[in-house]
Amino acid sequence: MAEAREPMQDIAHLGHTEILTPRRDESLWFFKEVLGMEEADRQDRSVYLRAFGDFDHNTLKLTEAKSAGLGHIGWRTVSSQALDRRAQALEESGSGKGWIDGDVGHGPAYQFEDPDGHLMEVYYQAEKYRPAEGERSALKNQPQRYPVWGVGVRRLDHINVLSQKVGRDREFMEEYLGFKLRENVVLDDGTEAGAWISVTPLAHDIAYTVDATNSNGRLHHVAYWADTREEVLRAADIFLENGIYIETGPSKHAITQGFFLYVYEPGGNRIEVFSGGYLILTPDFEPVTWTQEERAKGQAWGLQLPETFHTYGTPVVDPDAETKDVPVFDSS
């Protein structure tokens, strides 16, 4: 065991995501008034948002676009040196796209694509959120005051993207960014249908799940953390009262043990309010592989997810996903 390679620890955490929306005003209303996030800035076609417990300036870039979908995913490194190491490795991998100067809230970033085509970037310099007087929390260790309205999510938690080849993408993330496999699903024919991976003690910072439509580069969902399961239950009432389409939940996942609630924001992207789960502090965690038969049992308490959970993503490419059960979004 002493001869094992030491773990790479260059990526600190999921820093931000950018999602695209064909209905910016309605999407903004959802994130601000319903989820309880705050607008941090606006530039051109984008609005930058944050949750009250996010330490950085913003964690969500909401950009107006013709279709819903993923803009990009930002991974923050633990240091400048780590950033340089990752940029060089990505450059050599052939997946690199080069440096950008930065964006609202963060400095230089090296952009690249995972094999499935999801745009990502690594960066280190980030602007800490400095609350204006009225936004200061009574608790000195909280970046921003707890909101008195909406769901009141605390922080960005994870992202889930669809992929044509889950195993391929998982290995890419392991090799070039130091992700560790936590849990995955392997079908009877050997196909890896889903992989939950992380650089942090969270059971997943990102998950790859197979794209049933065989498209590439699509988004499954972005998840924000709520402090308690009770807040997730309360979120369901808030979504209900505000006409937000609840796809499934609240209930408990078998994989990651997360307590989930999935909705479609008005722009069409799937958003999760997430709590619970378990932490992986142990350095030699043994990944958990679920078989096809085990997955057929449904979620932790037996709930079967709706068909759309396995077919719907953004941008919407499956015409069948826009029918009966799902509210039609103007996302083309």
User: Contacts with a copy of itself in 24-53 (CB under 8 A)?
Assistant: 33-34, 53
Rule CB under 8 A: say whether 296 interacts with a copy of itself: no
Nearer to a copy of itself, 136 or 165 (CB): 136
User: In sequence order, what are the residues at sequence separation of 6 or more whose Cβ sits closer than 8 angstroms to the Cβ of residue 6?
Assistant: none
Instruction: Report the phi/psi class of residue 46: left, alpha or beta, with left for phi > 0 and alpha for psi in -120 to 50.
Output: beta
The residues pairing with 332 across neighbouring beta strands, listed in sequence order, are: none
Instruction: Kindly state the smallest distance separating residue 41's Cβ from a copy of itself, in Å.
Output: 19
Per-residue tokens: 279: 């932490």
One residue of 92, 237, 307, 320 binding a copy of itself per CB under 8 A: 237
Phi, psi of 29, deg, nearest 5: -55, -45
Touching a copy of itself, residues 308-327 (CB under 8 A):
none
# chain residues binding a copy of itself, by CB under 8 A: 84
One residue of 44, 133, 148, 188 binding a copy of itself per CB under 8 A: 148
Contacts for 228-233: CB closer than 8 Å, 24+ residues apart: 228/275, 229/259, 229/275, 229/276, 231/151, 231/152, 231/273, 231/275, 232/259, 232/260, 232/261, 232/273, 232/274, 232/275
- In eight-state DSSP terms, residue 31 is I
Rule CB under 8 A: say whether 231 interacts with a copy of itself: yes
Instruction: Kindly state the smallest distance separating residue 270's Cβ from a copy of itself, in Å.
Output: 14
From CA 186, how far away is CA 55, in angstroms rounded? 36
One residue of 166, 238, 273, 321 binding a copy of itself per CB under 8 A: 238
Touching a copy of itself, residues 91-120 (CB under 8 A):
none
Q: With beta carbons less than 8 A apart as the criterion, state whether 124 and 76 touch.
A: yes
Q: How far is CA 88 from CA 77, 111, 119, 125, 179, in A?
A: 13, 11, 17, 17, 17
Listed ranges 92-100, 112-120, 125-133, 214-222: which one lies at the site for a copy of itself (CB under 8 A): 125-133
Burial zone of 112 (CB within 10 Å; 0-12 exposed, 13-18 middle, 19+ buried)? buried
One residue of 42, 66, 79, 175 binding a copy of itself per CB under 8 A: 79
From CA 209, how far away is CA 295, in angstroms rounded? 13
Nearer to a copy of itself, 29 or 165 (CB): 29
| Cα of 277 vs its chain's centroid, Å | 15
Nearer to a copy of itself, 35 or 120 (CB): 35
Rule CB under 8 A: say whether 150 interacts with a copy of itself: yes
Instruction: Kindly state the smallest distance separating residue 216's Cβ from a copy of itself, in Å.
Output: 29
From CA 112, how far away is CA 257, in angstroms rounded? 31
Listed ranges 4-12, 61-69, 210-218, 307-315: which one lies at the site for a copy of itself (CB under 8 A): 4-12
The residues pairing with 106 across neighbouring beta strands, listed in sequence order, are: 103, 126
Rule CB under 8 A: say whether 56 interacts with a copy of itself: yes
Touching a copy of itself, residues 241-280 (CB under 8 A):
241-243, 246, 248-252, 254-257, 259, 276, 278-280
Nearer to a copy of itself, 33 or 41 (CB): 33
Touching a copy of itself, residues 163-222 (CB under 8 A):
183, 200-201, 203
One residue of 16, 154, 170, 220 binding a copy of itself per CB under 8 A: 154
Listed ranges 24-32, 60-68, 89-97, 228-236: which one lies at the site for a copy of itself (CB under 8 A): 228-236
Rule CB under 8 A: say whether 9 interacts with a copy of itself: yes
Touching a copy of itself, residues 58-77 (CB under 8 A):
76-77
Rule CB under 8 A: say whether 133 interacts with a copy of itself: no
From CA 72, how far away is CA 123, in angstroms rounded? 13
According to DSSP, the β-strands at 69-77 and 155-163 are: unpaired
